[in-house]
Structure 1
Amino acid sequence: MKKYDVFVIGSGMAGMTVANKCASSGLKVGVTDELPFGGTCALRGCDPKKVIIGATEVRDFAMRLKGKGIDTIPDVNWQDVMVFKQSFVDAMPPKIEKGYKHSGIDTYHTSARFLSKNTLMVGTDTVQADKIVIATGSKPRVLDFEGGNLALSSTDFLNLKELPQSLLFIGGGYIAFEFAHIAARFGANVTIVHRGKRPLENFEQDIVNHLIDATKELGIKLVLETEVSKIRKEDNNFLVTGISKGKEITYQTEAVFNSAGRPPVIFDLDLEKANIPFSKKGITVNEYLQSTSNPNVYVGGDAADSRGLPLTPVAVMEGHIVASNIIKGNSKKVNYPPMPSVVFTLPTMAAVGLTEVEAKTQKIDYQVNYNKVGNWFNAERLNVKEYAFKTIIDRKNQSILGAHLIGPNAEETINLFALAIKTKMEVNELRTMIFTYPTLSSDIPHML
C-alpha cells in the first residue's frame, strides 16, 4: 500500500493547483488522471476552442469591412487551424508532468475509486492518504435515447480532421452556440436543436435575443421546443428525429454533436464507500470545500456542488482554497467574487452579476438600462450589427448589480464591470472615470 499526505484525483486546473501548492509546502503528494494531464480547459475546451475561433475572427472582421478598405476576404483552412490548435494541446501534458516530477509529486495515469474513507484503488495500486481531493471535472451528458451513442462530443469536434458539410448540435447552451458559429464560418450548414423555449437560459434573455438574431443571420438554423428522441445512421448521413408539439420531425446531417450539458465526473468513484454525499449536481461540500460527511475529502472545480460557476478561473480559485485548508487546517472559507462568463460566439456575449429576473426575485429596488447601440461610433467603425447592453443598478446605493453585453470586445469590457461590482464602486465614480478613447471600454459610462 502506498501512503500520501494528499492524493488528488484529476489533473485539471483545480487538481493541478492543489497538487503543486501542497507539494511546495512539503507534503507528500500523488495525482492521477485517466485522461492526459491538463484537464478539459487546456486540452478539450476553452484553450483549443479559442485558438480555432481566432481564424473566424479574422474572416468575420474582413467581411464586415469589405468595401470599406478591405478588398479581399481571407479563406479559412480547417486543416491548418487544427495543426496550430494541436501545437498547444500536445505541449501541455508533458509540461505538466515535468512540473510534477520536479516538485516530487507521484503521477498515475489511471482511474480511481474509493475503498474506504481514506483509501483508494488507483488502477492496480492501493493508495491511502490523509487527505483526498476530488477534482475530476465534468464530461458530456449521456444521451439515453435510441442512437444517443452515435452523437459525437465537444472533444470530437475539436479533433475533427475534416469539417463535415453539415452538422447538428443537440442542446442550446454555450457549447452548441460557440461551435455552431465556428462551423458556420468555416462554410458548414449548421442546425441547433434545443428542447426548451429559450436557448442559453442562464443568460439575460434581452441580450440572448440579439445573439439569436446574429446566429440566424449567419445561416444557422435554430430549432426550439424540440426534444431529440432518436438518431440513426443511414449511408453516410445521420437521421435525427425530434418531437415538437407532439409531432416528429427528422433532420438529415453528416455529423451529430452532443452539447446537452456536462454533469460532474463523480459517479464511478464509489463515493458511497467513503461516506461522501452527492447529487447529480456534484459532491456536497461545506464552506471550506470539504465533504460534509467525510472530513478527509475536499472537492474543487466542476465536481463540487458549490455556488461557483463551472469556469476555469473559479476552479483555480477553489484549488487554492482547498490547498490552503489542507495545509493550514480549515482557515479559509470560500467566498465567490463576481464571476464573469462569456459565450465566445461572434458577436461575443458576456455577463456578470445578477440578471433582471434574479434582482426581481431577491426583491431589490433596482433600475435597468437596456439599449441596442448599433449607432454608436464603436459599432459603426467596426460595422457590427449587434451591439447592445443591459445594466442593472441598485437604486439605494447606486452600485452595479449586473452587466450584460453583446458586441465587440465584450469579453474584455465585462471584466471592468466585474471589478466595479466587486469593489462596490458607485455608478457616478465609474461615470466620471477617464477611459482611453476610442476604445470599447470608453462606452461604459454611457451604459450606466
Structure 2
Amino acid sequence: MAYDYDLLVIGAGSGGVRAARIAAGYGKKVAICESDKVGGTCVIRGCVPKKLFVYASQYSKMFKAAKTFGWDIQSQFNWSTLLENKNEEINRLNGIYLKLLSNSGVELINGFGSFVDAHTVDIAGQSYTAKHILIATGGTPTVPDMPGKEHVITSNEALDLPALPESITINGGGYIAVEFACIFNALGVKVNLVYRGKQILRGFDKEVAAFAQQSFIDAGINVLTETEITAVEKMSTGFICHTSHDSKHQTIASDLVFFATGRAANTAQLNLSQVGIDTQNNDQITVDKTQATSLPHVFAVGDVCNRDNLTPVAIREGHYLVDRLYKNGNQFPEYDFIPTTVFSQPEIGSCGLTEAQARKSHPNISTHTSTFRAMKYAMSEVKEKTFMKIIVNEDTDQVLGMHVVGADGGEMIQGFAVALKQGLTKTQLNSTIGIHPTSAEEFVTL
C-alpha cells in the first residue's frame, strides 16, 4: 500500500519534534500535526515560562542579600512587564521550532489528529495515511470533581494571569505546586499551600522533603498538610476553600485558587478505541520497551506514556525510536539515574535512589548528610540553608543517590549525575578535589 507519509507524528512537543526532524533527516517523508503553538508543554506552557518566572522571583532574595555587599537597590516589581517579556520569549522559541521543522523538510499540519483506522489519521477534516504513526501529545492538568471546580485555575492559567493576586491558595504537594508556591511567595503574594498527605514532595527522599518543607515555611509560605480541599466557593471578592482536616471543617480565603493535583495523558480526542490502542491509568498509552503501542506500527513517547514525565526523556525516546526504525539503531532509553530538579526556593536537585528505595534493595546502606548556610548568604539577613545527602551501598561502595536542597541544586546535580550513571563510588567521590569556596565541594567531603 502507498502511504502519504513514512512517519506521521501527532503532537509537536519536544519528543515529537525531535523524532520528526531526525526521521526527515534520514530521507523519510514526515508530517507532524499540532493544534497549538509548536513546542509543546515544556516550551509553551511549562518548564520554560515557569523557569522565567522563577528567575523573576529570585531577584527579591538577591536584592535583600545585596545590602550586605554594599548595594543600596531601590526596586519595584511589575507583573505586566514580566508577562509581556515572557510571551515575547515564548513566541521567539516557537519561531525557532517552526524553522527547525521547515529546514528539516517536515510538513506541519495545523490541527489535532484523530485515528480513523490503523494507518489513517484525521486532521481538521482531512485524512492522512502513514506507514508509522507516533503519538506525542503529552499531558494536561487535571482538577478533581468537586463543587466549585470551575472556579480554580491550573498551571496553564497561572502563567498568564492578568494581574498578580494579593493572596493565592495552591492545592497540591508536587513539583508544580511547590514551584508556583515559591514563585508567588517571593513576588510578595500571600501563599497557602494545601496538601492532603503528611509531607509534601511525595516520592522524594524523606529527609530532603522535610528540609524543603521547613524551608518553605521559614520563607513565609503557609503550608497546610493532611488537609483536603472539598469545595471552592466564589465570593463577591475572591474565593473560599472549604477544607477537611482531622474530620474538622475549615475555610481558607484567597484571591485565587490554583490546583496542581496531577496531569492526565492528552488522549481524549485521539479516538484510540477505534483502532484498539491500549491505555492505562489517567488514559496513558501503554507501550513496550520499543515505545510500540498495542498496534506494532504505532508508537508513543513522552508524557502521554506517563513513564518519566520529563522533557529530556521524551526527546531521548523519540530520537532512539527513529534511529531504530530507519537507521538500524539498537539503543533504548535507560531510566535509571535520571537527574531531576524542583525549581523551588531553595532549589531541589536529585539523582538516583532515595534512602527508602535503597534500603528496599540493598541490605547495607549508609547515609551522609550536611546542613550549612551558603557563603552567598552568610553575611546577609537571608537565613536560607542548604542540605545535602549521599546514599551509599556499603557492600560495593557505589553511590546510589545524591540529593541537595539549596541554591543552584539542579546545576550541581547535573554534573554529578554523569558520574552516578557511570557507577561512581564513595571512594572516588572523596578522592576528588573540591572547588573552594563553593557549595558543591561539600559533596566530595562528606
Q: For the Cα contact (< 8 Å) 2:434–2:444, is it kept in 1?
A: no
Matched, 1:94 2:92: no
Q: Secondary structure at the match of 2:378?
A: helix
Whole-angstrom CA distance in 2 between matches of 1:35 and 1:176: 24
Equivalent in the alignment of 2:370: 371
Instruction: Please list, as runs of the form range in 1=range in 2, the aligned pairs for 1:32-431 lying within 5 A after superposition.
Output: 32-72=33-73, 74-280=75-281, 282-291=284-293, 293-306=294-307, 309-328=308-327, 331-374=330-373, 380=378, 384-431=383-430
Q: For the Cα contact (< 8 Å) 2:362–2:393, is it kept in 1?
A: no
RMSD (Å), alpha carbons: 2.0
Q: How far did 1:65 drift?
A: 4.4
Give the AA of the match of 1:115: V
Whole-angstrom CA distance in 2 between matches of 1:364 and 1:324: 40
Give the AA of the match of 1:277: D
Instruction: Please list, as runs of the form range in 1=range in 2, the aligned pairs for 1:426-441 lying within 5 A after superposition.
Output: 426-441=425-440
Q: How far did 1:337 drift?
A: 4.5
Equivalent in the alignment of 1:7: 8
Q: How far did 1:104 drift?
A: 2.4
- Structure 1: which 5+ residue stretches go unaligned? none
Whole-angstrom CA distance in 2 between matches of 1:256 and 1:393: 42
Q: Deviations over 1:43-82 (max 9, x none)?
A: 1111111112212222212213434534336333222222
Q: For the Cα contact (< 8 Å) 1:372–1:388, is it kept in 2?
A: yes
Give the AA of the match of 2:421: K
Normalising by the residue count of structure 2, what TM-score does the alignment of the two structures yield? 0.94
Whole-angstrom CA distance in 1 between matches of 2:208 and 2:384: 13
- Further displaced range: 331-340 or 2-11: 331-340
Structure 1 segments of 4 or more deviating over 4 A? Answer: 376-379, 381-384
Q: For the Cα contact (< 8 Å) 1:59–1:75, is it kept in 2?
A: no
Give the AA of the match of 2:18: T
Q: Deviations over 1:22-54 (max 9, x none)?
A: 111111111112221111111111111111221
Whole-angstrom CA distance in 2 between matches of 1:248 and 1:268: 39
Q: Deviations over 1:203-249 (max 9, x none)?
A: 11211122212211222111111221111211121111122222222
Q: Secondary structure at the match of 1:351?
A: strand
Q: How far did 1:313 drift?
A: 1.2
Q: For the Cα contact (< 8 Å) 2:58–2:186, is it kept in 1?
A: no
Whole-angstrom CA distance in 2 between matches of 1:232 and 1:166: 16
| Number of aligned positions between the proteins | 443
Q: How far did 1:378 drift?
A: 6.4
Q: Name the CA shift for 1:211/1:74 in 2 (closer, same or farther; >3 Å).
A: farther
Normalising by the residue count of structure 1, what TM-score does the alignment of the two structures yield? 0.94
Q: For the Cα contact (< 8 Å) 2:14–2:39, is it kept in 1?
A: yes
Q: How far did 1:168 drift?
A: 1.0
Q: How far did 1:9 drift?
A: 0.8
Q: Secondary structure at the match of 1:6?
A: strand
Whole-angstrom CA distance in 2 between matches of 1:167 and 1:41: 24
Q: Deviations over 1:174-198 (max 9, x none)?
A: 1111111111111111111111111
Q: Deviations over 1:286-319 (max 9, x none)?
A: 111111x21111111101143xx21111111111
Q: For the Cα contact (< 8 Å) 1:299–1:322, is it kept in 2?
A: no
- Structure 2: which 5+ residue stretches go unaligned? none
Q: How far did 1:384 drift?
A: 4.7
Whole-angstrom CA distance in 2 between matches of 1:423 and 1:73: 48
- Further displaced range: 67-76 or 189-198: 67-76
Whole-angstrom CA distance in 2 between matches of 1:446 and 1:83: 45
Equivalent in the alignment of 2:441: 442
Whole-angstrom CA distance in 1 between matches of 2:52 and 2:229: 31
Q: For the Cα contact (< 8 Å) 2:21–2:101, is it kept in 1?
A: yes
Q: Name the CA shift for 1:240/1:377 in 2 (closer, same or farther; >3 Å).
A: closer
Equivalent in the alignment of 1:22: 23
Q: For the Cα contact (< 8 Å) 1:231–1:241, is it kept in 2?
A: yes
Whole-angstrom CA distance in 2 between matches of 1:377 and 1:91: 37
- Further displaced range: 164-173 or 356-365: 356-365
- Further displaced range: 189-198 or 17-26: 189-198
Q: Secondary structure at the match of 2:203?
A: coil
Whole-angstrom CA distance in 2 between matches of 1:73 and 1:310: 41
Identity %: 29
Q: Secondary structure at the match of 2:133?
A: strand
